[in-house]
Homo-oligomer: A and B are copies of this chain.
Amino acid sequence: MTKGRVCLAYSGGLDTSTILKWLINEGYEVVAFLADVGQEEDFVAVEKKALALGAKKMVIWNLQKLFVEEIVHKAIQCNAIYEDRYLLGTSLARPIIARAQVKAAEENDCQYVSHGCTGKGNDQVRFELAFAACNPGLKVIAPWRMPEFIAKFKGRQDLLKYAAENNIPVSSTPKAPWSMDDNLVHCSYEAGVLEDPDHTPPKELWTRTIDPQDAPNKPYEFSIYFEKGIPVKVVTEDKKEVTDSLELFKLLNKIGHDHGVGRVDIVENRFIGLKSRGCYDTPGLTIARLAHIDLEGLVLDSKVRELRDQFVTQAWSRQLYNGMYFTPEREFVEVALVASQKNVTGVVRMAVYRGNAYVLGRSSDASNLYSQEDASMDSLEGFSPEDTSGFIAIQGKRLDQTDLSILTGTAIRLKKFGLQKRKDGEPLTQ
């Protein structure tokens, strides 16, 4: 008689294969689940292995487009970043994966969900909080926090021994001396030799970006078109033009990859209170984020930007890092995020060159905030009342004073706001 059915997040690796077998040995039925969020993986082989190990079923869902449109676009819209450096690659994918796992559990009548996260990392938190919100009735089996499991598997040797005893195939490829996690957005490298924060990552570590020294010795130019803060078209110097959300992001990844853009190497603060060292290569998102920030300079109101930077960017980024996606506070913050982006429409021309991404220029028809004439230092026109008759008669020398004062600076900003509203058919006096 079975203890119940478990939906296990299964990657095909040694850890989750061991867990799969161990759950079966403990008396559970197992439905293995794998989300395709753009990682490098032989999905057919994973399915075959799961079934061979005794899984009742292997569920593999391609969630790449959903990932881009629901999460990556939001990350771009809010210039998401953690501790000034990390573009959140792993955390961005977690909500998509965890929610899908819950759906897979529901569709397959599972009472349990299980994962192979360790007890010292961020991911256990991200998964379990997502499970709790998405289906409060599901129970979680987290073997790496269970005393009996930990007691049994004290190190890699124990896993290999169990694999041998239970006919779990073990890859003959030697394991890299660090652990990796990848998806459409990035690949992360942690642990092993990287635990020494003064150990420089070796050249062969990076998988998503070419070494800048090996990149073409010539800039490559392209333009990103945004609508309401979302990239909707990329046109390259060699006339590629892509508009599909997923293909567009893959193209940015390829551009970044080929020119070595998007590597960071940091020590970060994990949610659970420890510091850890991580290296990440994030080619496409690095480029998209830079372009988006640049366009906001042109079209976003200064005070909206200040509030958005303080409130939305920090809050959303931390929420994602900390696994707080399925929360009222993330929904609350996103309402404001979307509201901030209504005029973030325009084109950013860019170049990449040996590890760098540069902005070459930007333009937009969506906003009246930037005006060459206003900004000009050479001309004082536009600050003076157009119609000076009568006005001057009363106010004498006033125009230059009030109109050049800070009050007027604010007033100019608000006049533009009022004019834009009128142009949009929504005059403030309506």
The answer to the question of A54 belonging to the interface, with a C-beta cut-off of 8 Å to chain B, is no
Contact A263 B358 (CB under 8 A): yes
For residue A210, give the distance in angstroms from its CB to the closest CB of chain B. Answer: 13
Contact A99 B429 (CB under 8 A): yes
Interface residues in A331-388 by Cβ distance below 8 A to B read 331-333, 335-336, 339-340, 349, 353-356, 358-363, 369-372, 374-378, 380, 383, 385, 387
For residue A123, give the distance in angstroms from its CB to the closest CB of chain B. Answer: 11
Q: How many copies does the complex hold?
A: 4
Contact with B along A266-279 (1 / 0, CB 8 A): 11111111111100
Contact A418 B150 (CB under 8 A): no
The answer to the question of A391 belonging to the interface, with a C-beta cut-off of 8 Å to chain B, is yes
Contact B417 A326 (CB under 8 A): yes
The answer to the question of A217 belonging to the interface, with a C-beta cut-off of 8 Å to chain B, is yes
Contact A191 B134 (CB under 8 A): no
Contact B374 A274 (CB under 8 A): yes
Contact B358 A133 (CB under 8 A): no
A200, A302, A374: residue with the most chain B Cβ atoms closer than 10 Å = A302
Closest B residue to A260 by beta carbon equals B356
The answer to the question of A204 belonging to the interface, with a C-beta cut-off of 8 Å to chain B, is no
Contact with B along A140-162 (1 / 0, CB 8 A): 01000111101000011000000
- Assess A213 versus B333: contact at CB under 8 Å? Given A141-B394, A326-B428, A404-B120: no
Closest B residue to A221 by beta carbon equals B200
The answer to the question of A407 belonging to the interface, with a C-beta cut-off of 8 Å to chain B, is yes
For residue A391, give the distance in angstroms from its CB to the closest CB of chain B. Answer: 5
Closest B residue to A319 by beta carbon equals B303
Closest B residue to A118 by beta carbon equals B377
CA distance A283 to B7 in the complex (A): 53
Contact A129 B268 (CB under 8 A): no
Contact B307 A315 (CB under 8 A): yes
The answer to the question of A205 belonging to the interface, with a C-beta cut-off of 8 Å to chain B, is no
CA distance A102 to B199 in the complex (A): 40
The answer to the question of A128 belonging to the interface, with a C-beta cut-off of 8 Å to chain B, is yes
Pick from B277, B360, B411: contact of A200, CB below 8 A: B360
Interface residues in A94-151 by Cβ distance below 8 A to B read 99, 102-103, 106, 111, 118-121, 125, 128-129, 132-136, 139, 141, 145-148, 150
Pick from B120, B274, B301, B332: contact of A307, CB below 8 A: B332
Q: Write the residues of chain A forming the contact surface with B, with a CB cutoff of 8 angstroms.
A: 3-4, 26, 79, 83-85, 99, 102-103, 106, 111, 118-121, 125, 128-129, 132-136, 139, 141, 145-148, 150, 155-156, 179, 190-191, 195-200, 212-213, 217-219, 263, 265-277, 293-294, 297-298, 301-311, 314-315, 318, 324, 326-329, 331-333, 335-336, 339-340, 349, 353-356, 358-363, 369-372, 374-378, 380, 383, 385, 387, 390-391, 393-402, 404-419, 421, 427-429
The 4 closest A-B pairs by CB, nearest first: A401-B401, A272-B409, A273-B409, A269-B302
The contact sample of 25 A-B pairs, CB cut-off 8 A, is A103-B429, A119-B383, A120-B376, A120-B404, A121-B377, A128-B407, A132-B418, A136-B414, A146-B395, A147-B400, A155-B378, A200-B360, A212-B353, A212-B354, A263-B358, A267-B297, A267-B298, A271-B409, A272-B408, A275-B370, A303-B324, A303-B328, A332-B340, A354-B354, A355-B356
